[in-house]
Structure 1
Amino acid sequence: MTTTLAPATTAELDMIGADGPTAVVITITPELAQQLLKRNTRNRKLRERAVSDYARDITAGNWSLNGEALKLSANGDVLDGQHRLHAVIEAGVPVDMFVVIGLDPAAQETMDSGRKRSTADVLALRSEENATTLAAVLRRVWAWQNGDHRFKGRQSPTTAECAALLEAHPELRRSAEIANRVRSSFPHIPQSVLGTCHHLFNAIDADECAWFFQRVADGAELPLGHPVLALRTRVTSERLDSVRLSEDRFMAYLIRTWNAVREGRELTRLMHKPGTEIPMPK
């Protein structure tokens, strides 16, 4: 069994590593984090977004003791873990962390050299099908739910937040599957947008949503003036002209098309001026 220590000050922490490099589990309180950050004298530029992501996970209780360690030099300097320390302060909640104390300061040059595990990597480890598309859809649905309809906000969901969203909405797996299926037949709209819109439209009318995405995929038996035909024509034309469209523009196209279908309106030409408000699906 691992013993968790709870030093109140950096002086007490120094005593733990007095006899050389030592690895222990320590409860890092906001107060201890503040003291440690006074020793954060030689580190990378702080990334506020990373701090915010970590703090949300801590606040939500999604912070786990996963073996990644806060690393301190023999003289007490913080070599690795400044973002986690700032997140503890921002969340105002103590968390248990592995702490390695007493390292050679030169060891900092070899830290964080591995590639970060992405949400798609984690989903694949969980044997989720369509892991890459599912991760992309989860991130965008999370953004949409948080008011970022252009997917350009400063915040993006953590892996834990994506997992929580999937648990709350398991039907997103079906949206990712449909996105891949449509993309394979009609490769002019990104899977991330297709899956996000499928999730939004399915919540409004599941039967009409199924018909809508089948027609986006195959364009079968669509008369002149049908909104889906206008959508397919528009994105195909822009793709052939090598126009690079942003995801929010694709979202606007799909939502405008869906709304026209729902209202029974003809749509001969699909338009959306860049920078204008994204419509809401009805």
Structure 2
Amino acid sequence: MSTALTLPGVNYDSPTTLKQLDALLSNGGAPSARIIILRPVMAARLLRRNTHNRNLRAAAIDAYVRDIQADCWPLNGEAIKLDVNGNVLDGQHRLHAVVKADMAVTTFIVGGLPAETQATMDSGLKRTTSDALSLADESNATTVASVLRRVWAWEQGDRKFTRRVKSTTAECTALLHKHPEIRRSAEVANRTRVAFPHIPQSALGTAHHLFNAISPDECAWFFQRIGDGVGLSSGHPILALRSRVTSERAKEGRIEWARHLAYLVYAWNAVREDRPLSRLLVRPDTPVPTPK
């Protein structure tokens, strides 16, 4: 079972949850809700009644699978919803995830809903990682969330930041617990962006997190110079960085996100190697290099 949650009045060791499911599937009366342990065999049974739904999103299923297997699937009130004939109206991605993860979850299940109510389901605005952090009173929630998503992708080996696999809120929360210093990286990113508004906070914060792990002192100096440009002579890598992003944004209006990070890493590596860099170029579709 993917959660250790125990609720009063629910016997989790009893096979009655399967009977509860059967009762809901045959319920032609008024809507009713129960808490059940949704096991893979039960999810598979429900999926046979998933005859009228939107197209499946494989990335969403995989994200749910990772959260289930990481024991990050609390009972939060979200329900599997069935119509008066026991057909699935909402929850197909969660059902597929339970089958794929081959683990049980504790969930609400609602039966007896009119079929026409399906059109109104999932019409609300989904909570983002930034929303979750804001609700937890996290400072700089928007920047912290954006940095967490990119650092998570980096740790998965995505050096082009083009993969369809996206981090979940639970994965970002776990990453922040593992690397609380990302909060400091977000602060530096916001401050640097105010001084030099041509690189997004998410790229600055991601780069700061990576560089700070290598050399905190050099990292602090590097970001100060990105912001103010003080004392940078011709051929200095940070001057080349500032010039490149300023001119490219003026010309193209927008720079691909991964290229921002690549520019930062190339400039950082040149500074670390005490190597002059008069012109900064990155070929399209090139993976971001490893900071040294």
Same fold flag (TM > 0.5)? yes
Q: CA deviation at 1:14?
A: 2.7
SS at match of 2:269: helix
Aligned to 2:260: 250
1:226 corresponds, among 224, 233, 236, to: 236
Aligned to 2:10: 3
Matches within 5 A, 1:254-269: 254-269=264-279
Aligned to 1:77: 87
Q: CA deviation at 1:149?
A: 1.3
> Which residue identity is paired with 2:131?
D
Matches within 5 A, 1:1-282: 1-3=8-10, 6-7=17-18, 11-14=22-25, 17=27, 19-282=29-292
Contact 1:9 1:32 in 2 (8 A): no
Aligned to 2:4: none
**How far does the alpha carbon of each residue in 1:49-102 deviate from its partner, in whole angstroms, 9 at most, with x for none?**
110111100000000100011101110000000000000011110001101111
Contact 1:120 1:131 in 2 (8 A): yes
> Which residue identity is paired with 2:32?
T
In 1, the alpha carbon distance for the partners of 2:186 and 2:149 equals 12
TM-score, reference length from structure 2: 0.93
Q: Which runs of 5+ in 1 are unaligned?
A: none
Q: CA deviation at 1:107?
A: 1.1
Q: Which runs of 5+ in 2 are unaligned?
A: 1-7
Q: CA deviation at 1:233?
A: 0.6
In 1, the alpha carbon distance for the partners of 2:141 and 2:25 equals 44
**How far does the alpha carbon of each residue in 1:170-201 deviate from its partner, in whole angstroms, 9 at most, with x for none?**
00000011111111110001111100000000
In 2, the alpha carbon distance for the partners of 1:234 and 1:46 equals 42
Aligned residues: 281
SS at match of 1:212: helix
Contact 1:30 1:94 in 2 (8 A): yes
Contact 2:34 2:108 in 1 (8 A): yes
> Which residue identity is paired with 1:198?
H
In 1, the alpha carbon distance for the partners of 2:278 and 2:173 equals 41
> Which residue identity is paired with 1:160?
A
Q: CA deviation at 1:21?
A: 1.4
Identity %, equivalent residues: 57
> Which residue identity is paired with 1:119?
T
- After TM superposition, where is structure 1 displaced by more than 4 Å over at least 4 residues in a row? none
> Which residue identity is paired with 1:280?
T
In 1, the alpha carbon distance for the partners of 2:197 and 2:22 equals 61
In 1, the alpha carbon distance for the partners of 2:197 and 2:281 equals 20
Contact 1:69 1:100 in 2 (8 A): yes
In 1, the alpha carbon distance for the partners of 2:10 and 2:25 equals 17
TM-score, reference length from structure 1: 0.96
Q: CA deviation at 1:13?
A: 4.2
Contact 1:49 1:155 in 2 (8 A): yes
In 1, the alpha carbon distance for the partners of 2:81 and 2:287 equals 46
Q: CA deviation at 1:216?
A: 0.4
SS at match of 1:26: strand
In 2, the alpha carbon distance for the partners of 1:91 and 1:83 equals 12
> Which residue identity is paired with 2:63?
D
Q: CA deviation at 1:6?
A: 1.7
Contact 2:160 2:285 in 1 (8 A): no
